[in-house]
Amino acid sequence: MSRATQPVPQLKRVTDVAPLRRLVREWRTDGAKIALVPTMGNLHEGHLSLVRQAREHATRVVVSVFVNPSQFGPGEDLEAYPRTPEQDRAALETVGTDALFLPSADTIYPFGVDEMTRVSVPGLSAVLCGASRPGHFDGVTTVVCRLFNIVQPDIAVFGQKDYQQLLIVRRMVADLHLPVRVLSAPVQREPDGLAMSSRNRYLDAASRAQAPGLHAALQETADALRAGRRDFAALEAEGAARLMAAGMRTDYFAVRRATDLGLPDAATGPLAVLAAAYCGPARLIDNVRVDV
């Protein structure tokens, strides 16, 4: 039977480590290849695109939903972060998810967040979003490493919208020799170009109208790079000015090497244009890769 004609699997809901590992062992006994899609829930089409990509590369797909306290800083939106477990489950059933892992904080951090063993990727975690949100990426790599240890997937799928996060996870996997292949999926966008994000829920009508200006500014800079401009500092300043003109407050607007987020020079290969900006109550991030 081809994959296209296989019946949609029945979604299994699991909340603890031992039953999830038993389930994965059963699948592996049958020769299955396992994929993991880590999420914080409040799923939208961007998340579902990750699940679809996972199904293309694996026999069984596990999606984790865990709002990770260790990646939120003081004053950030941990308590307000949208949680929609029943909607998430219904959405995952439509795209062929095999297991939904819904751990508690005590399951992920049995000794508490303050006493947890930490995983840190220096360098990459200190720039851009890492500079604005100190400790954020340590929380990301700490929880992702735990999820990899719990699920032991062959494949994990992450979205390109969180481009810095994607590079950091790949660096962690390479540095720790973790037997996981990290795949990426393209940014999913609204018709006006806004990158899909759970935090878009925070946008009121006025800020929602302004928000597409983030992607528009990135695209203008990317087009200039494709046309041959290499005055990177001037391009960054112009991009930040576009965000301000669109009604947003710039956190950063940067042109970096796509491979490692280092500062580019005239001989640099693939580039990434990345930005974070405050639009009304929401902090939005986005990026555009430029192959030059």
pLDDT tens across 26-59, in order? Answer: 999 999 999 999 999 999 999 999 999 999 999 9
| CATH class given for the domain over 3-185 | alpha beta
What are the boundaries of each domain within the chain?
3-185, 198-290
Place of tokens 């939208």: 44
Say how far apart CA 196 and CA 11 lie, in whole Å: 25
What pLDDT, on the 0 to 100 scale, is given for residue 16? 98
Query: Which residue, among 99, 87, 92, has the nearest Cα to 16 in the 3D structure?
Result: 99
pLDDT of the residue at 8: 59
256-281 pLDDT, tens digit each? 999 999 999 987 889 999 999 999 99
Q: Is 44 a catalytic residue?
A: no
The count of C-alpha atoms lying within 13 angstroms of the C-alpha of 47, restricted to the half-sphere facing its C-beta, is 25
CATH topology of domain 198-290: Pantoate--beta-alanine Ligase; Chain: A,domain 2 (3.30.1300)
Instruction: Name the band, by pLDDT with cuts 50, 70 and 90, for residue 20.
Output: very high
pTM: 0.94
44, 47, 136, 215: the active-site residue = 47
Res 9: pLDDT: 72
For residue 7, the model assigns a pLDDT of 57
